[in-house]
Amino acid sequence: MSTRPLDEVADLVRAKNAGPFWLTLDVFLPTDEAYERVCASGVVDPVVVGGLYRTPPEKVRIFRQPTLRVIKISFPRPAVQGTLADRDMHSGQQHVLLASVPVPDALPESVG
Amino acid sequence: MTAHNEVAPSPTGPAGSVRIVFPIGMLGGWFPEETLSRALELGADAIAVDGGSTDSGPHYLGASTPKSARGAVKRDLRVMLVAARGAGIPVVVTSCGTSGTDAGVDWVADIAREIAAEEGLSFRLARIYSELSRETVLEALAAGRIDPLEPADALTAEVVESCSRIVGLMGHEPITDALAAGADLVLTGRATDTSSVAAIALGRGIAAGPAWHAAKTVECGSQCTTEPLGGGVLVEVDDEGFTIHPLNDTAAATPMTVAAHMLYENADPFRMREPAGTLDTSAAVYTAVTDRVTRVVGSIFEEAAQATIKLEGAALRGYETISLVGIRDPHILAHMDEWLDRFVTLGLGPRVRSSLGLEPDAYEVELRAYGHNAVLGDLEPAHDATDIPREVGVLLRIRAADQATATAIAKVANPIMLHLPLEGMTHLPSYAFATSPAEIERGASYEFVLQHAIRVDDERDLFRTEFEEVAP
């Protein structure tokens, strides 16, 4: 099945601190159809997201808001904000990893 | 019909509503003066603004210094105070001085007194302090009243004792009390982002669901509109809901922009804990009143059986010295990972041991190759080996127990940063230092160490309020 990166499907993919101990990612989709395709992709899979950010999948919280066509993903920051190991004080550049996740160009055909 | 008339009076707000202007996401961030003149034309009942955040890191709490320039804070506060005294409405500034320490409240109070003298203003000032001593927190810990918040572990006395500064995040109660006692200007220590607007609305008897949801929506000013950098917002709150009016002719508050702000800097898009309970927006309905004004109803606030006060604490972790060198030679750039590995393993460790007598556990080293992988580090996806950056800036960060040691290690590193060759190179390359001296002393280095909350009988318990009559 052909795919393209989330970056090319979404209106906006953004990342930010949610306090010093959490990182949160927001995905804004332009249409219900795009939202459904993203919901059929690794973007909403805690294993895929956890792999990108080296975070245990059970720590990854994924929220779906179909009325807003938004997906929100939150997990504990891999490094606490402002520690010597932290590379991004506001977490503002951490969206690029999620933005590369492939999204199918078409919804899988329903069975039956 | 002009944009002004379009929003005044509100087409939706029932009697008994309160109108609050939130001009900017952070005091000192600058907003146009007409933001407030327009808000006053619309019948603003109060002005609220946030003066702080943890978002710029632990330094401001650890060192108890503000992030914003004094002149920028004074400029914004002057515009607000002159407008508010002219209209006879109160001003609330939360989280003064960025981190909300006692010194931060005093810093803004001093600026307010200066403005009063210069502008000939008189007003009743309430200062609400939220800094907590280590002893207070240790007592609460010993009494079993402190719980960890995810992802933290249970708190230990050792962690509390490591804190240079601790603040508690106040909710609405101390602010509502100060306003009820006639304060014209309320300056608070650390508070939740929402507490100012919620306190004003709850103090007028508005229902808690709309009050807290309105507060969350406007806590970054224009960010809930189509123009995040423009002109602030006025929120009209009543018992059924709230209505967002942008204060800039070209900005629009749409159901999408208003709803989206509930996502911002919030781990959970539907539920947000405050000292008094939890805001639940999962049943909220967002409706366009006009193409620029949005109305929200259906928000719920669940009162908690037990009030809790979230803590923030910053601990001193040593002292830091940095230096920055640029690499432009493509022969080096083609082997950046190898160069970075050689720097620490072959270069720095042995020299620091032999020159300074320090083992690797006595200091910390971070090398950040900007242009290569500084921002994502190990998370950086594999690159095409032929994809060589044009140039890379290598930032060396050294942290040690004292400043002199950190700088000494950075000085030992200096000739390595200047000349480190790749394996097999027969000449000594030289790289491009940014500054002389190369070493830049960054001072004390702090880290956030508290992600915990204290259970309290009354959410006022941990906070102290002082009143003062300010006159020119």
Q: pLDDT 10s digit of each residue in chain B, 472 long?
A: 334 434 444 444 456 899 999 999 999 999 999 999 999 999 999 999 999 999 999 999 999 999 999 999 999 999 999 999 999 999 999 999 999 999 999 999 999 999 999 999 999 999 999 999 999 999 999 999 999 999 999 999 999 999 999 999 999 999 999 999 999 999 999 999 999 999 999 999 999 999 999 999 999 999 999 999 888 999 999 999 999 999 998 999 999 999 999 888 889 999 999 999 999 999 999 999 999 999 999 999 999 999 999 999 999 999 999 999 999 999 999 999 999 999 987 789 999 999 999 999 999 999 999 999 999 999 999 878 788 999 999 999 999 999 999 999 999 999 999 999 999 999 999 999 999 999 999 999 999 999 999 999 999 999 999 999 999 9
Answer positive or negative: Cα dihedral of B53, B59, B65, B67.
negative
A81: contact with B, CB 8 A cutoff: yes
Q: Is B109 exposed, middle or buried (0-12, 13-18, 19+ CB in 10 A)?
A: buried
What is the reported pLDDT for B180? 98
CB contact under 8 A, A88 and B375: yes
C-alpha distances in angstroms, A73 versus A51, A56, B467? Answer: 14, 13, 44
ipTM of the complex in this document: 0.93
Q: Which amino acid is at B243?
A: T
What is the reported pLDDT for A112? 43
Distance from CA of A31 to the nearest CA of B (A): 13
For chain A, helix, strand, coil in percent to 5 are 25, 30, 45
User: Closest Cα partner for B448 from B166, B117, B142?
Assistant: B166
Q: Is B260 helix (H, G, I), strand (E, B) or coil?
A: helix
- Cβ neighbour number for residue A66 with a 10 Å cutoff: 12
Q: Is B261 helix (H, G, I), strand (E, B) or coil?
A: helix
The residue written with tokens 């006060």 in the block is B309
A84: contact with B, CB 8 A cutoff: yes
The residue written with tokens 């509109």 in the block is B225
> Which residues make Cβ contacts (< 8 Å) with residue B385, sequence separation at least 6?
none
CB contact under 8 A, B265 and A63: no
Answer positive or negative: Cα dihedral of B367, B371, B373, B375.
positive
Give residue B223's Cα distance to chain centre: 15
Distance from CA of A95 to the nearest CA of B (A): 10
Q: Contact, B411 vs B358, CB < 8 A?
A: no
The residue written with tokens 């099945």 in the block is A1
Over residues B51-67, the pLDDT tens digits come to 999 999 999 999 999 99
What is the reported pLDDT for B1? 34
B317: contact with A, CB 8 A cutoff: yes
CB contact under 8 A, A24 and B54: no
CB contact under 8 A, B376 and A97: yes
Residue of B nearest to A30 (CA): B256
The residue written with tokens 């032929």 in the block is B386
pLDDT per residue of chain A (112 residues) written in tens, 0 to 9: 899 999 999 999 999 999 999 999 999 999 999 999 999 999 999 999 999 999 999 999 999 999 999 999 999 999 999 999 999 999 999 999 999 999 999 987 755 4
Residue of A nearest to B193 (CA): A19
Over residues B63-86, the pLDDT tens digits come to 999 999 999 999 999 999 999 999
Q: Contact, A36 vs A50, CB < 8 A?
A: no
User: Closest Cα partner for A100 from B371, B369, B266, B376?
Assistant: B376
Q: What are B457's strand-pairing partners?
A: none
Distance from CA of B235 to the nearest CA of A (A): 22
Q: Which of A24, A52, A100 to mutate to test the interface with B (most CBs of B within 10 A)?
A: A24
Give residue B186's Cα distance to chain centre: 19
Cα angle, residue B12 at apex, residues B9 and B17 outer, rounded to 5°: 75
Q: Is A64 helix (H, G, I), strand (E, B) or coil?
A: strand
What is the reported pLDDT for B283? 94
CB contact under 8 A, B368 and A87: yes
Query: Of all helices (H) and strands (E), which one includes residue B82?
Result: helix B70-87
Q: Contact, B267 vs A18, CB < 8 A?
A: yes
Q: Contact, B256 vs A67, CB < 8 A?
A: no
- Cβ neighbour number for residue B181 with a 10 Å cutoff: 12
Over residues B372-409, the pLDDT tens digits come to 999 999 999 987 878 899 999 999 999 999 999 999 99
Note if the bond before B32 is cis, omega within 30 degrees: no
A59: contact with B, CB 8 A cutoff: yes
Q: Contact, B363 vs B419, CB < 8 A?
A: no
B153: contact with A, CB 8 A cutoff: no
Distance from CA of A4 to the nearest CA of B (A): 17
Residues 386 through 425 of chain B touching chain A, CB cutoff 8 Å:
397, 399
What is the reported pLDDT for B354? 95
CA dihedral defined by B330, B334, B338, B339, rounded to 10 degrees? Answer: 10
Q: Across the interface, which of B150, B263, B397 has its CB nearest the CB of A70? A: B263
Over residues B15-44, the pLDDT tens digits come to 689 999 999 999 999 999 999 999 999 999
Question: Tokens representing A35?
Answer: 């939202």
CB pairs below 8 Å between A and B: how many? 97
